[in-house]
Chains A and B, each alone.
Chain A
Amino acid sequence: MSRRLILTGNDAAAEAMRQIDPDVVAAFPITPQTELMHKFAEHVADGEVKAELVLVESEHSAMSATVGAAAAGARSMTATSANGLALMWEIVYIAASYRLPIVMPVVNRALSGPINIHCDHSDTMGCRDTGWIQLYSENAQEVYDNILQAIRIAESPEVLLPVMVTFDGFIISHTAEVLEALEDDIVTKWVGEYDPKYTLLDTDNPMTFGPLDLQDYYFEHKRQQMEAMREAPAAVKKIGKLYGEISGRQYELIERYQLDDAEFVVVALGSTCGTAKVVIDELRAQGKKVGLLKIRCFRPFPETEIAEAIKNAKAIAVLDRSVSFGAPGGPVHKEIKAALFGTGSTAGLVNYVYGLGGRDISMDHIKQTFADLETIADSGTPTDSLRFLGLRE
């Protein structure tokens, strides 16, 4: 029972939002997120959704209004990119700390400066420690599927954390693909009614949200937030499985592509995974034992599952589409390295930074990466373990 549609990533996100039909959506334009909200605004203008669309004067107010709406008991969403996410960062952190189950598509774009409107992951990687669950999407189908699952994950009583569904600017957001969408009534049943325990509108049981929390309690509240994040992987997996039952597409924290017997492994997230899969198919046909570890859920980071998935690798290349200035490698690389620590892995590990500011990554780049891994497997982790793909030097 599904509909085959040709949609861009932005339109797929707007389609998911139309079907979810949240109570409140706040929006402020930023490229490449704009078309998502154009489409949703059309649904509002045509009376197809019940959402109150709040067209704010900045992303800071977008997240602030979303927080106010969520605290008032409304299922609330917003969406942004890059500098917009950076501007709302203060309230992004507050949204998670207040345990508000907001779902926000983020269309990945490079952070300024210099200003650039194209894809990299510096925006969402920059707020990887804000307490939001982060789901990265490989294509428009996953954008749609992840947003529908995000509502259920965020609102799980044992979790109650906001979820960012990310997808690559232009590469996914502006590229039309065929995808399968569910029927409206199935989605309505899937997301169900949002019924929060405490709301601002319950004036007979007045609650104070966001009190001043000093030395004697703040620490315990942060500990509770960590506990919610600890509960999240099980919820992501459970909901991914349930979603498989209604859609035929089951989701996990990570995707293991040709990984079981892979000796040479590329680790990536987002649209690059699609490119890597084509390369792997080619190399497998030549008899090479190559595979991909795709990280879908970057926060919380599924450390144990990842370590298990790549334990037999002889050499691993971690692809980072962002930089962690001054750190020994990109954000994904550091997490992988930490996940392998103490597992006895003797794999050579190399980090490739690629695609900053929308620089294209080609199949040849990934082929080169696998070729490099064969060399590294013989010689161990190289001294130049931070490398670049597609960079002129």
Chain B
Amino acid sequence: MPGLKQLAQRPDLMAGGHRACAGCLPMTGMRQTLLTAGKDTVCGCATGCVEVVTTIYPYTAWKTPFIHSAFENSAATISGAEAAYRSLRRQGKVDKEINFIAFGGDGGTYDIGLQALSGAMERGHNMLYVCYDNQAYMNTGIQRSGGTPKGTATSTTPAGKVVPGKKQFPKPLTEIMIAHNIPYVAQCTPGFPKDLSDKVEKALAIDGPAFINMLTPCTRGWRYPMEESMEVARLAVETCFWPIFEVEHGKIRVTRKPKEKIPVVKWLENQGRFRHLFKEENKYIIDEIQAEVDRYWEWLLKREALSQA
């Protein structure tokens, strides 16, 4: 596994000058992923922020081969490219080792692309799917997705006089992927770059399908100062709101266990999208979020112990 210094010395495969917002952590996640994967990697991306900011014709920020087709089919598109590779390699027309990575935002993964993702994973393609989860449809203007946390104010779940933001907890996408019994599933965030890199390295080395859910804070949608993206990402882990862990052939390993579990309110209070939760009448929602964080964290640790036994 390369260290951060070694990674930093590798040639950048995501060119600067793309159109992402300052403080965009999805783009940091892309850069970290590509540094680990290397140039012999075929990438695809669902319609969304990353696709839009990196490929405005006649420019491209991708120094690897790249394909965008539509919103819901990143996994299916890359599964086709991987099938082509297998076929051509079997025929002796290609000889090098090539990685296949499909990217998608939370909208393109939790929601509209879930079927294509499920199908590609079930078929066993030798590919990695990375969900860059910024917890809403940011590209179209911050609408709620199946990955948006409970209580979040978005354009379609505004904090109104009667309804205080999104009513539902997010869909447990990582658990859904674990339930696919694929060889490798992980959660990570660019806030912990070495952890992210190690997971990408493992996911690509494994023969078969792999899935990584990458929490990538969005300064515009989450409404925090742009220079705080890395802190916001790290605090999501330190509060156990976003546990970082991996499931390798069924064995669970939590890759960071905070020494002191910080209350989730510390993560919520710096983000404008949760501001309304601090009104007296809405504080019960914070309690509900904390209870869900605690429940999942305990459940994860128990399963880790069980799977390691």
Contacts and interface: CB of A to CB of B under 8 A. Distances in A.
B68 A57 contact: no
A94 to B, nearest CB: 6
Interface stretch (A196-204, A250-258, A338-346, A384-392): A196-204
Contacts of A54: 79-80, 83, 123
A58 B115 contact: yes
Interface stretch (B34-42, B262-270, B297-305): B34-42
Given A23-B88, A201-B42, A208 B119 contact: no
Interface string A209-237: 11111100100000000000000000000
Interface string B69-82: 11011001111111
A378 interface: no
Interface string B46-82: 0000011001111110111111111011001111111
A74 B73 contact: no
A71 B67 CA distance: 8
A52 interface: yes
B151 interface: no
A52 B56 contact: no
Given A24-B87, A57-B116, A203 B40 contact: yes
B116 A74 contact: no
Contacts of A24: 80, 83-84, 87
A246 interface: no
B73 A50 contact: no
Interface in A171-200: 199-200
Contact of B76 (A51, A61, A206): A61
A30 interface: no
B86 to A, nearest CB: 5
Contact of A71 (B64, B76, B81, B90): B81
B85 interface: yes
A107 to B, nearest CB: 22
B80 A65 contact: yes
Q: Classify chain A's interface size.
A: 35 or more
Given A23-B91, A68-B76, A212-B56, A206 B84 contact: no
Contacts of B73: 60-61, 64, 91
A54 to B, nearest CB: 5
Contacts of A60: 72-73, 76, 116
A5 interface: no
Given A57-B122, A212-B56, A217-B58, A52 B83 contact: yes
A76 B90 contact: no
B118 interface: yes
Contacts of B69: 64, 67-68, 91, 94, 98, 210
Contact of B80 (A67, A201, A207, A213): A67
A71 B81 CA distance: 7
B161 interface: no
Contacts of B41: 203
A242 interface: no
B80 A26 contact: yes
Contacts of A76: 80, 84
B219 to A, nearest CB: 21
Question: Which of B44, B57, B72, B120: most chain A CB closer than 10 A?
Answer: B57
B274 to A, nearest CB: 32
**7 closest residue pairs by CB, A with B:** A68-B80, A57-B119, A65-B80, A74-B84, A72-B84, A64-B76, A64-B73
23 contacts: A52-B83, A61-B79, A61-B116, A64-B77, A65-B79, A65-B83, A68-B81, A73-B84, A74-B88, A91-B73, A201-B88, A203-B39, A203-B40, A203-B42, A203-B65, A203-B98, A206-B63, A206-B65, A208-B67, A212-B51, A212-B55, A214-B56, A217-B57
Given A56-B76, A66-B80, A199-B65, 7 more contacts: A24-B83, A64-B80, A65-B77, A68-B77, A69-B83, A201-B81, A203-B64
